[in-house]
């Protein structure tokens, strides 16, 4: 056997060798910025240097041909330096306003939409799904692609009251995170247990401890050590599935999609907020999930028409109230919208303030 190479544990690389020279030169010394048009940022440094950033959408899961095409565009129409945003958009930096239009034309011609800045709907945050995850209830890349086709105009224009961040997640762990709109798997039935496999595949005390509602207990089934679920207590969250794959939670019929709104990460104006449930029971209808797109578009239409400038989704709802939200979106309000989990009292209306 060949001798193993010892790694260099170099950690997170220094970005300076890869950074645009104008950004290197003016690092920490910027003065102001504006947005000349959707998809373009213009930053001015205290030195007077200027830089234009052109932002374009990608499919995130990129084949080398796509990446090389973006590199060719970056070399021919920009200045060989790019960066990616947290939402998988690519940014090309150029030192002259003259280069902006040709770069945009080329990107659009090659199928990369330019946008995602300011009060647009940016790229949907993206998880792994059926392509690579070991516990997914749905796909991620497909859901994102199908929805971004529908929201293409809103990516390329800045017509929303404020920025809209949409997330998707293929299980209730919600790797996609908080969003103005979050589209997440919601299982509706307890796991189906393959009792023949539990003893060999699962560390049973770990699985018992993982359940948030203490619904799992050890049991002997068909003479073998296994686990059983108290189905009256089970909240169908799927937390037992990753440590114990024989507790299959994913179901083609009963793993549904739920939609949540009003998540916000920034401390800008209002404090950060968690998204709240507004719709559920939507079918996991691959390959294009039309029922999900319909509800998302209903919510966006109401927000676009009714929210004031700078109001994020949660801030709009805080102003108009939940009754009006359900009225404007046409979505039903059910007993499932009322929280009965930890700290649920904090979400009840402890006042005489009622909207009519």
Stretch that binds another protein, among 85-93, 95-103, 292-300, 321-329 (CB under 8 A): 85-93
Task: Supply 354's token pair.
Answer: 């009622």
Q: Is there binding between residue 309 and another protein (CB under 8 A)? A: yes
**193 in Cβ contact with 226 (< 8 Å):** yes
- The interface region with another protein, picked from 31-39, 222-230, 325-333, 346-354 by CB under 8 A, is 31-39
- Cβ-count burial 62-77 (b if 16+ within 10 Å, e if not): eeeeeeeebeebbeeb
Minimal distance, residue 310 CB to another protein, in Å: 6
Task: Of 309, 318, 317, 328, give the one whose Cα is nearest residue 163.
Answer: 309
Q: How far is the CB of 303 from another protein (least distance, A)?
A: 17
320 near another protein (CB under 8 A) = no
Residues 210-249, interacting with another protein (CB under 8 A): 210, 212, 237, 239, 245
- The structure tokens listed for 167 are 């997330």
> What would the DSSP string read from start to end of 295-348?
HHHHHHHHHHHHPPTT--HHHHHHHH-HHHHHHHHT----GGGS--STTGGGGS
Question: How far is Cα 74 from Cα 104, in angstroms, rounded to an integer?
Answer: 11
Q: Is 98 in the site for another protein (CB under 8 A)?
A: no
Distance of CA 125 to the CA centre of its chain: 3
Shortest distance (Å) from residue 146 CB to another protein = 7
Question: CA 329 to CA 233: how far, in whole Å?
Answer: 32
Among 48, 200, 222, 252, binds another protein (CB under 8 A): 252
Are 240 and 194 a contacting pair, CB within 8 Å? no
User: For another protein, how many residues bind (rule: CB under 8 A)?
Assistant: 113
Min. distance of Cβ 50 from another protein in angstroms? Answer: 11
Residues 174-193 that bind another protein (CB under 8 A): 174-178
The token pair that represents 174 in the structure block: 């919600």
132 is a contact residue toward another protein (CB under 8 A):
yes
Among 97, 102, 131, 301, indicate the residue that binds another protein (CB under 8 A): 131
Site of tokens 């090309």: 92
Q: Which of residues 117, 119, 120, 250 is near another protein by CB under 8 A?
A: 250
| 68 belongs to the binding site for another protein (CB under 8 A) | yes
Give the H/E segment covering residue 11. none
Q: Which of 218, 272, 323, 332 binds another protein (CB under 8 A)?
A: 272
Choose the binding region for another protein from 67-75, 94-102, 217-225, 322-330 (rule: CB under 8 A). 67-75
- Nearer to another protein (CB atom), residue 223 or residue 287: 287
User: Residue 285's CB: how many other CB atoms inside 10 A?
Assistant: 14
Q: Is the peptide bond before 61 cis (omega within 30 degrees of 0)?
A: no
Contact 22, 95 (CB under 8 A): yes
Is residue 53 part of the contact set for another protein (CB under 8 A)?
yes
Which C-beta is closer to another protein: that of 225 or that of 245? 245
User: Toward another protein, which CB reaches closer, 5 or 354?
Assistant: 5
Calpha distance 215→195 (Å, rounded): 17
Q: What part of residues 138-177 is at the interface with another protein (CB under 8 A)?
A: 138-139, 141-142, 145-146, 148-149, 152, 172-177
Query: Which of 6-14, 96-104, 326-334, 346-354 is the region at the interface with another protein (rule: CB under 8 A)?
Result: 6-14
């Amino acid at each position: 056997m060949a001798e193993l190479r010892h790694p260099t544990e170099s950690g997170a690389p220094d970005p300076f060798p890869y950074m645009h020279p104008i950004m290197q030169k003016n690092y920490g010394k910027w003065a102001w910025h504006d947005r000349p048009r959707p998809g373009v940022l213009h930053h001015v440094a205290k030195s007077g240097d200027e830089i234009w950033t052109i932002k374009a959408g990608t499919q995130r899961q990129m084949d080398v041909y796509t990446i090389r095409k973006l590199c060719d565009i970056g070399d021919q129409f920009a200045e060989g330096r790019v960066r990616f945003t947290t939402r998988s958009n690519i940014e090309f930096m150029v030192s002259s306003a003259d280069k902006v239009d040709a770069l945009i034309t080329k990107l659009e011609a090659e199928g990369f939409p330019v946008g995602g800045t300011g009060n647009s709907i940016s790229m949907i945050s993206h998880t792994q799904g059926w392509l690579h995850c070991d516990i997914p209830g749905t796909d991620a890349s497909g859901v994102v692609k199908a929805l971004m086709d529908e929201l293409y105009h809103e990516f390329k224009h800045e017509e929303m009251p404020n920025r809209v961040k949409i997330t998707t997640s293929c299980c209730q762990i919600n790797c996609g995170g908080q969003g103005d709109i979050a589209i997440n798997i919601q299982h509706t039935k307890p796991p189906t247990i393959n009792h023949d496999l539990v003893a060999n595949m699962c560390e049973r005390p770990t699985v018992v401890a993982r359940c948030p509602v203490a619904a799992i207990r050890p049991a002997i089934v068909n003479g073998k050590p296994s686990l059983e679920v108290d189905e009256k207590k089970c909240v169908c969250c799927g937390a037992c599935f990753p440590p114990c794959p024989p507790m299959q939670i994913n179901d083609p019929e009963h793993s549904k999609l739920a939609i949540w709104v009003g998540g916000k990460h920034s401390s800008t104006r209002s404090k950060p907020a968690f998204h709240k449930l507004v719709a559920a029971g939507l079918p996991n209808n691959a390959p294009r999930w039309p029922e999900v797109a319909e509800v998302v578009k209903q919510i966006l239409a109401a927000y676009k028409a009714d929210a004031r400038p700078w109001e994020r989704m949660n801030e709009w709802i805080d102003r108009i109230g939940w009754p009006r939200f359900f009225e404007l979106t046409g979505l039903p309000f059910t007993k499932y919208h009322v929280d009965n989990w930890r700290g649920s009292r904090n979400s009840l209306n402890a006042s005489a303030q009622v909207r009519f």
